[in-house]
Structure 1
Amino acid sequence: MDFASVVPPYVAKPLTLQPFRAVMLAPGRVGDPASARALARPYRDVASRLLQWIEEGRASADVAPAIYLHEYTAEGLTVRGLVGALGVARRADSMAERAVWPHEAIHPEQAGELADRMRQMELNPAPILLVHHGEQELRDLVTDIGRGTPDWRYLDRTGQRQRIWAVRDEETLARIATLLADTRCLVADGHHRYAAYLRLQEDNPGTAWDAGLAMLVDQRDTPLFLGAIHRTFPGVTIDDLAGACRAAGADVSHQDRHHALSALDSTHLVLTDGNVWQTVSPGDLAREAAVSWLHEQVLGRLPVPPVRIEHHHNVEDALTASSSVAPAVLLPSPDFEQVRALVESGGLLPEKATSFQPKPSLGVLMRPMNDA
């Protein structure tokens, strides 16, 4: 199994979000799968392709740089955050200096491929998602901005309702900069793109690549939903999994489907091959996420390692993929405070440990590097 093992560098304080001049797909094309052609191979043609789309009215470029307040609603859940060019030129030498905290390791080759792609595209095609606990003054400021009339407001092709405010007032931008300076934020989505930003910056210092597109969400304001990512293990039997869990000190109990799924909470995992159902109680998980316990305590005790690990973002998909030759492990949702405490104490979660949802549709806000 090829586990991610490299932790990208930490960006140092002060945290900065810089104004940029956004390129946006036309509202009727945001979330449209056919619009992905604008960002498709050959990547070196993307910049000219977007210019053509702007001329044809299929995309637009903002009139001037701004930091954007972006609010989107998906399936009844509303998320809002500040979108800007995240400064990545400074590296932290100590934990106290860290502004951006990854919570997963990355595959360097994947980050390299993304860096090469963005370099050819001359574009940050989508913001990475960062979450933090902001100051009350910042939340009040964001609320005040949101009371104004949005500069853009529409329902996209996926059903997400988009509202966007361009923030250009110099006094407001200065207040945002001051209130963000000492922020510590967690990378919620986009670990490999974050690492690609750092690589591009190292290769192109003093250019527009000194920053990368990011959306900063206040988890105390409009929290992202933090869900589990479940696993199936081809090449393993459920008896092997249960035995490895017992060897790691857990209690394993046979259950019927209903009682097993009902027991899936912060203290239990569930094993199933579609026929057999078992609950696993590792004991005290107060200081350790269930997914970390699975990877660090259980997988190494399997008599035969799995052929690979397959990841599933919901229980239904995991159950569909499970079988006698690929049992599933259903995991409880992580707790944001637990994840944050683990990361800020120097720990990491396994790859694909968390699913922060919902993510914004592609094409709402993009950052061209030839007009940063």
Structure 2
Amino acid sequence: MADIIPFKGTLYNLEKISDPSKVVAPPYDVISKEEQDQLYNSNPYNIIRILLGKDLPGDDEKENKYTRAARTLKEWQEKEVLKKDKNDSIYVYEQEFSVDGQRKKRLGFLALLKLEEFDTGRGSVYPHEYTLDAPKRDRTSLLSSIEANLGPIFALFADEDKSIDKILAEVAKSQPIMDLRDPHGMRNKLWRVSDKEKTERITGLMKKEKIFIADGHHRYEVGLEFSKTKKDPKYGYILTYFTDLYADGIVVLPTHRLIGGLHNDVMAGLKEDLKKDFSVQKIASKNEIRKFLSGASPSEKRFAMYTKGEFTGLVLKDNDLLDVAILHDMVVEPLKKKAKGNISIDFTKDIDYAVKEVDAGRFSLSIMLNATKITEIRDVAFAGKRMPQKSTYFYPKVLTGLVINVF
């Protein structure tokens, strides 16, 4: 069902770039202002200058970060800092990383995916999260200006018999064309597969697969709408990273919530309000949070709440919703209603940060939760449903700048 094709990737020319780790970047939507500055300063050819440009005084419709991105891409191509491959290829990509002290590897591949409307039951591409208009406007402006996919969307498929994994693993025994450690110490290896027999084998096997988008919902929807404005069929495909959803290297991290702007009267009655839906118990310290959360049985939903100086465990009394949906429907929305909408919400993967921000007075409380299971995300996607924003954080992120798709 999934229609994928090999393509002529545009890659950094290693004869011009001695250290490729200095020119790649994470996906645009996880880059902080501080990291943006660091990437700008790391190398004059870092992909950040196209991916996430800076607004400058005097910018207007004719001169802005999007027009500068297009000009920069063209200049780098003319200087052969970026070079397009001569043959259609699929690119095998492996990441080595650590989670909770455990070493893991994730193996996948980069190819082009045919864009299609989301159609539950008949389609081959399924989303799992809602999108927002502002990021889509930004990415539409960039795509319209540069006419290139800088970083891949991240898609998962069920390689149950490991037929594709076996091909990728065989390729990964050879010498990679790129081998680098990113700024976070993660090892990234890339192989080019131009052999037609291998690429046709992979694309043929993928025809039977349904896939769901792990990361890149905004870019997918932007790409789909952009393709409708073009007659050339080449615009009907998007750069995509594919990997097996059952692989050991698939890691989903929890995204904890911080809520600010709650007045004393709301905070005073908070615990009693929560007792309607949750069993409430005391957690001794921050160090006990992970133990409490991980102690949940398969049918149990647990959360940990921190208000200044106090840790509280919450166990849902009776519900079969996903953790993130419970948190949204039974905690966040009622608080928003009580505060008449005047609250701030932030997200973090770091429990220490979630506690520190409350102690510093920047937020009223934080709520920690377990990660959503990969099978839960799959079931939501294939049922044609969507989860709240920031429900999932797939780790590690796929680097931007390893392979680019220039139309």
1:145 to 171, 183, 194: 171
Superposed displacement of residue 290, structure 1 = 1.1
Rounded to whole Å, the distance in 1 between the matches of 2:272 and 2:24 is 45
Alignment gaps of 5+ in structure 2: 26-38, 41-45, 54-63
Rounded to whole Å, the distance in 2 between the matches of 1:73 and 1:57 is 30
Residues 51 and 161 of structure 1: CA distance in aligned 2, closer, same or farther (over 3 Å): farther
Rounded to whole Å, the distance in 1 between the matches of 2:76 and 2:22 is 11
Pair 1:272 & 2:306 matched: yes
Contact 1:29 1:58 (8 Å CA) reproduced: no
Superposed displacement of residue 74, structure 1 = 3.3
After superposition, residues 176-325 of structure 1 pair within 5 angstroms as 176-236=202-262, 238-247=267-276, 249-257=277-285, 258-265=287-294, 266=296, 267-284=301-318, 287-302=320-335, 303-304=338-339, 305=341, 307-323=343-359, 325=363
Superposed displacement of residue 117, structure 1 = 1.2
Counting aligned pairs with the same residue, the percent is 20
1:77 to 98, 104, 109: 104
TM norm structure 1 = 0.86
- 1:352 is paired with a residue of what secondary structure? coil
Which stretch shifts more, 38-47 or 221-230? 38-47
User: What is aligned with 1:8?
Assistant: none
When the two chains are superposed, the root-mean-square deviation of aligned CA atoms in Å is: 2.4
- 1:175 is paired with a residue of what secondary structure? helix
- 1:220 is paired with a residue of what secondary structure? coil
Contact 1:45 1:121 (8 Å CA) reproduced: no
Contact 2:126 2:384 (8 Å CA) reproduced: no
Alignment gaps of 5+ in structure 1: 1-13
- Please list the CA deviations of residues 28-66 of structure 1 after superposition, one character each: whole Å capped at 9, or x if unmatched: 433471212244253224344234334546443323221
Pair 1:16 & 2:41 matched: no
User: What is aligned with 1:49?
Assistant: 72
- 1:320 is paired with a residue of what secondary structure? helix
User: What is aligned with 1:341?
Assistant: 379
Which stretch shifts more, 17-26 or 119-128? 17-26
Rounded to whole Å, the distance in 2 between the matches of 1:346 and 1:241 is 34
Superposed displacement of residue 113, structure 1 = 2.4
Contact 1:271 1:328 (8 Å CA) reproduced: yes
Residues 48 and 62 of structure 1: CA distance in aligned 2, closer, same or farther (over 3 Å): farther
Superposed displacement of residue 167, structure 1 = 1.7
TM norm structure 2 = 0.79
- 1:112 is paired with a residue of what secondary structure? helix
Superposed displacement of residue 328, structure 1 = 0.2
Rounded to whole Å, the distance in 1 between the matches of 2:291 and 2:65 is 48
